[in-house]
Each structure stands twice: as structure tokens, then as C-alpha cells.
Amino acid sequence: MIVVMKPNCSEAAIEHVLRFLEQEGFTGHLSRGVERTVIGVIGSVNVQNPPGKGMITPALGEALEAFPEVEGVFRVSKPYKLASREFHPDDTVVEVPVACVAGGTVRIGGPAVVMMAGPCTVENEKQLMTTAEAVRKAGAVILRGGAFKPSTSPYGFRGLGEEGLKLLAKASREFGMAVVTEVMTPADVPLVCEYADILQIGTRNMQNYMLLDEVGRAQKPVLLKRGMAATIEEWLLAAEYILSQGNRAVILCERGIRTFEKSTRNTMDLSAIPLVKQLSHLPIVADPSQGTGRRDLVAPMTLAAVAAGCDGLLIEVHPNPEVALKDGAQSLTTEQFAELMPRAEAVAQAIGRSFV
């Protein structure tokens, strides 16, 4: 349920509604838009609640409608509430401090498109520094790189752990880029927060609810990848976990889903980009590397994702993909990445946007 307050309503009136909700066993989540303040009402299915407490009912709507500065009360038909457009009609813009840009802040979800690039995996200092320098020179402003790596096989490379995080932080200092890196367990969230600017939740963990709760309590933006077998609704419900813990800085990432098609590693669902924009206020970026699994398809799918309206890209780049410890087949060379950037910029310009 959402409560729409009257334009220019007083702070006291907002506070009054929030206090009423709390007394009745609900949580009120505030969304201050350009025109209106909206309060999302989240019930609580808690076995310790007395019967009826915390349950959204028509009587609750009627009680809220009686508040003098409430304009209207509406049921949100979707199972996700805080992630829905109804709750937050304006686009959410996630701000990330980035030293290499003028003004020192990158806004993901605003008019500009944001390039995040780097190696799939941090392998060693030389590989990371070479890649970071090249992608920065070509125009990327956020450095990607895995220190804690998911691996289908237990014998595959699983990342350098904290050593990898330290190298990412070093590259970040050297090139002024922000860092996005994956966190795989709730216990690692504080550690990864020390080094990362954006916490990445990988496809395999999109429905790891304890992890979603934990990053929801963290004070860092979260890049939430789509589960490889997740519907858009399941994905937005995963985002809802993070939002409902109080973290509003959620960035969605379309990275392809499993289908019967075997010629690509995943089927990149480009229609998810404009569809998510309709359903949700959250920014959405695209990962054409995981989305295709094929270096030759990364550039065309990058251009297509920009044309479809994505707010950013996450692209794997390696100085020598032939010897990459992970995902070499889908990693661009530094030269290929540099060639791609002006083409992506041209598509962005064609739809009235540009890259940061």
C-alpha cells in the first residue's frame, strides 16, 4: 500500500503518519519526489504479532485516508513495493564518488551512461594495473574485478580474496576510478565494504536472502545481477529485500538468462531493460560479457543495450584474454575495448544521452 501525501504537506504530517504506522505494526518507507512525498507501507508477517497486526487491510487504508494531509491511499498490485514505479515515480539516481570525473561524483540512473570495465578476476598486480590504466584511458570510470569469485567447479580459480581487494583499492587510488566487486557471503560484507565502492551480488546469489539482507544494511550501493534463471519479478523481489532493509542505492544488472540456446553462454534479455524501466525506478546496467559469453558478441550487444536505454555497462577486459584465469572467451582485449567506446558513445548520442 502507498500513501500519497498532499503537495507541500508539513513534516509534522509525515511524521504523524509514520508514527501511526509504527504503532499499528507497519514500517513506513519515505520517498520524496519532485512533486509529492509518498510513504510505502510494508506489513510484517511475524508469527509473534497479535492476529491482524501488521496485515494490510481495507480498514488500514480508510484510517490513513482520514489523515488531513493525506491525498490518497493506493494498493500496489505488484508483489514488490519499494522497487515499484508506483512507490517512487521518479528515477532513482545512485551517486558514487569517483575521483577521476569532474565534480567527483558519478550518477548512475541519470542522463549519462556509465562505463564499468576491468578484468573478470583480479589475477595479479600487473594484470590489474595494465587493464585499469587501459580502460580508464578509453573512458571507463568504474573498475570492475572479482576478488571473491564464484566458480562452477571447485577446482576453478576462486579469486585472491582480500589480496585482490587490496589490489583493486590500489588501482582505484592510482587511476581515480571507483571499484565494483562481488561479495559472496554475509560474513564478508564488512570486509568488502572497506575496499569497494559498489557491492556486486552475482547471478548465483540473487536469491541468497541472508546476503541480500546484509547488503541491505550496508552503507554502500549494491549492483544486483539478475539470477540466471530468474524472472523479472523474482529479480525485483530480490531488490526489494535490499531496499526493505533501508539501502536505497540499488542498481540492477541484466546479465543474460539460461535458455535452450547453446550457441551463447546465456541469452541476453535486452527487453528487460525497457521493461524494468517501466516497472521500477531503479537504474539498470547491462553485462554483455556474461550475457553472451563470446568476445565477438560483446560489442554489438553493448551498442544494443545502450540503444535499449541501459544506464551503464559492465564489461570484462583482459590484456591477454588467451591466458585469463577466468572468462577469457568473453573478455575484450584492451584494444577492442578502446575501439568500442567511441561507437557506444555514438549510439548514446543518437538517443540523446552521452557517456560520463
Query: What, of ligand PEP, ligand E4P, none, does residue 203 touch, CB below 5 to 8 Å by kind?
Result: ligand PEP
Binding of ligand E4P by 326 (CB under 6 A): yes
What is the SS3 assignment for 169-225?
HHHHHHHCCEEEEECCCHHHHHHHHHHCCEEEECHHHCCCHHHHHHHHHCCCCEEEE
Shortest Cβ distance from residue 224 to ligand E4P (Å)?
15
Binding of ligand E4P by 152 (CB under 6 A): yes
Site for ligand PEP in 111-150 (CB under 6 A): 120, 146, 150
The answer to whether 2 touches 74, Cβ cutoff 8 Å, is yes
In sequence order, which residues have a C-beta less than 8 Å from that of residue 18 and are 6 or more positions away?
Answer: 28, 30, 39
- Contacting residue, 2, 82, 96, 120, with ligand E4P by CB under 6 A: 120
Binding of ligand E4P by 263 (CB under 6 A): no
What is the SS3 assignment for 27-58?
EEEEEECCCCEEEEEECCCCCCCCCCCCCCCH
Nearer to ligand PEP among residue 248 and residue 255 (C-beta): 255
- Contacting residue, 182, 197, 254, 269, with ligand PEP by CB under 6 A: 182
| CA–CA–CA angle 181, 29, 73 (5° rounding) | 140
**Residues 153-182 as x/- pattern, contact with ligand E4P by CB under 6 A:** x--x--------------------------
- Contacting residue, 43, 109, 159, 202, with ligand PEP by CB under 6 A: 202
Nearer to ligand PEP among residue 92 and residue 290 (C-beta): 290
Binding of ligand PEP by 203 (CB under 6 A): yes
Quote the cell numbers at residue 325. 584465469
Strand order in the sheet with 27-32: 27-32, 37-42, 2-5, 70-74
Binding of ligand E4P by 146 (CB under 6 A): yes
- The number of beta carbons lying within 10 Å of the beta carbon of residue 19 is 11
Shortest Cβ distance from residue 145 to ligand E4P (Å)?
10
Phi, psi angle pair for 276, to nearest 5°: -60, -35
- Name the residues that contact ligand PEP, by CB under 6 A: 120, 146, 150, 182, 202-203, 225, 255, 287, 290
Binding residues for ligand E4P, rule: CB under 6 A, are: 120, 146, 149-153, 156, 326-327
